[in-house]
Amino acid sequence: MTIQLGQIAPDFEQDTTTGRISFHDWLGDSWGILFSHPKDYTPVCTTELAEAARLKPEWDKRNVKVIGLSVDPADSHQGWEKDIEETQGQAVNFPVLADADRKVSDLYGMVHPEADPTITVRSVFVIDPNKKVRLIMTYPPSTGRNFAEIVRVVDSLQLTDAHKVATPVNWTDGQPVIIVPSLSDADAKARFPNGWKTLKPYLRVVDQPPLPR
């Protein structure tokens, strides 16, 4: 199955390290990050799961729930989590899907036969509270993910959902943003009473409005 931006994230029931979940019910009104791992006891994934767990205060601040996935069973995950805590100094504090039957992997297109039909690629799905898929990233098995970029994208999505702005290249929280072209100057004056800088009629730069928290 091919997942596309804007579609409703497929729902499923599956076992995890913290018990069986129904995905949409588990998400509730939170944002979600679903990310997959080729298999248990792999070196790059060991560092990634620890980093995702280490970022829990940032996820909580943004109303984000994180869930991992590997095609191994739950008891294997639990053994691996002990290694993660031992080697990375951080316990895993979110559920990891036990997708031994590949139900979720196939549903989300996480197995790429041309890469390796026996493992999942490093997929990332950011899902909003309406259960819509807002971001998809796919990394090769050899390359660890940049979680600072995932946090940055969540900030951008939440900011641009709340205000009529877009975020420019390399934007991070606190930097100027762009007024969307669909907003007229008259309407922009009401939204941004302190004004903005017009570089071109279609390129209006304004101080960042507050992030919704």
Strand partners of residue 67: 34
**Would you call 32 a catalytic residue per the annotation?**
no
CATH 3.40.30.10 assigned to 13-144: yes
> Which residue among the candidates 9, 33, 34, 45 is catalytic per the annotation?
45
In terms of DSSP bridges, do strands 64-70 and 31-36 run parallel, antiparallel, or are they unpaired? Answer: parallel
The model's confidence at residue 41, banded by pLDDT at 50, 70 and 90, is confident
* Intervals of CATH 3.30.1020.10 along the chain: 163-206
Whole-prediction pTM value?
0.92
Of 106, 102, 109, 142, nearest to 124 (Cα)? Answer: 109
Q: What is the predicted pLDDT for the residue at 117? A: 47
Kindly indicate whether the domain formed by 163-206 is annotated with CATH number 3.30.1020.10. yes
How high does pLDDT run on average in the chain? 92
Half-sphere exposure of 50 (CA within 13 A, CB side): 19
Instruction: Give Cα 74 to chain centroid, integer Å.
Output: 22
What radius of gyration, in Å, describes the C-alpha atoms of the chain? 19
Q: For the chain, where do the domains classified as CATH 3.40.30.10 start and end?
A: 13-144
